[in-house]
Amino acid sequence: MKAIRIHQNGGPEALRLDDIPVPQPGPGQALVKLAASGVNYIDIYHRTGLYKTDLPAALGVEGAGTVEAVGPEVTGVKIGERVAYAMDRGSYAEYAVVPAWHLVPVPANIGLDIAAAAMLQGMTAHYLLHSTFPVRQGQAILIHAAAGGVGLLVCQMAKQLGAFVIGTASTEEKRQLARDAGADVALGYDNFVDEVKRHTEGRGVDVVYDSVGKDTFHRGLDCLHPRGMIVLFGQSSGKVDPIDLTILNTKGSLYVSRPSLGHYIQNREELLWRASDVLNGTIDYKIHRRYALADAAQAQRDLESRGTTGKLVLTT
Measured CA to CA in angstroms, residue 157 lies from 79, 148, 209 at distances of: 33, 14, 13
In this predicted model, what pLDDT tens digit does every residue of 236-263 receive, in sequence order? 888 898 889 999 999 999 999 999 999 9
**211 by DSSP, 3-state: which?**
coil
Whole-prediction pTM value? Answer: 0.90
In this predicted model, what pLDDT tens digit does every residue of 79-127 receive, in sequence order? 999 999 999 999 999 999 999 999 999 999 999 999 999 999 999 999 9
In this predicted model, what pLDDT tens digit does every residue of 139-173 receive, in sequence order? 999 999 999 889 999 999 999 999 999 999 999 99
Q: State residue 21's pLDDT score.
A: 96
How many helices (H) and strands (E) are present in the chain, helices listed first?
A: 9, 16
Per-residue burial over 11-42, b if 16 or more Cβ lie within 10 Å, else e, is ebebbebeeeeebebeeebbbbebbbbbbbbb
In this predicted model, what pLDDT tens digit does every residue of 21-40 receive, in sequence order? 999 999 999 999 999 999 99
Is residue 306 over pLDDT 80?
Answer: no
Query: How many whole angstroms separate alpha carbon 158 and alpha carbon 141?
Result: 8
Share of the chain above pLDDT 90, in %: 86
Query: How many whole angstroms separate alpha carbon 238 and alpha carbon 306?
Result: 13
Looking at residues 200-221, what average pLDDT do you find? 95
Which residues lie closer than 8 Å to 307 by C-beta, 6 or more apart? none
User: Residue 201, Cα to own-chain centre: how many angstroms?
Assistant: 31
Cis peptide before 56 (omega within 30 of 0): yes
DSSP bridge pairs for 313: 38, 290
Which residues lie closer than 8 Å to 244 by C-beta, 6 or more apart? none
Looking at residues 282-303, what average pLDDT do you find? 92
**58 by DSSP, 3-state: which?**
strand
CATH placement of domain 2-120+263-315? 3.90.180.10
Q: State residue 285's pLDDT score.
A: 87
User: Domain ranges in the chain?
Assistant: 2-120+263-315, 122-260
Query: How many whole angstroms separate alpha carbon 104 and alpha carbon 228?
Result: 34
Domain 122-260: CATH superfamily is: NAD(P)-binding Rossmann-like Domain (3.40.50.720)
Is residue 298 over pLDDT 90?
Answer: yes
Is residue 75 over pLDDT 80?
Answer: yes
The mean pLDDT of the chain is 94
Would you place residue 288 in the very low, low, confident or very high pLDDT band (cuts 50, 70, 90)? confident
Would you place residue 65 in the very low, low, confident or very high pLDDT band (cuts 50, 70, 90)? very high
Would you place residue 309 in the very low, low, confident or very high pLDDT band (cuts 50, 70, 90)? confident
Give the helix ranges, DSSP H, for 8-82. Answer: 41-48
Is residue 308 over pLDDT 80?
Answer: no
**DSSP code string of 234-296:** --TT-PPPP--THHHHHTTS-EEE---GGGG--SHHHHHHHHHHHTSS-S---EEEEEEGGGH
Is residue 284 over pLDDT 80?
Answer: yes
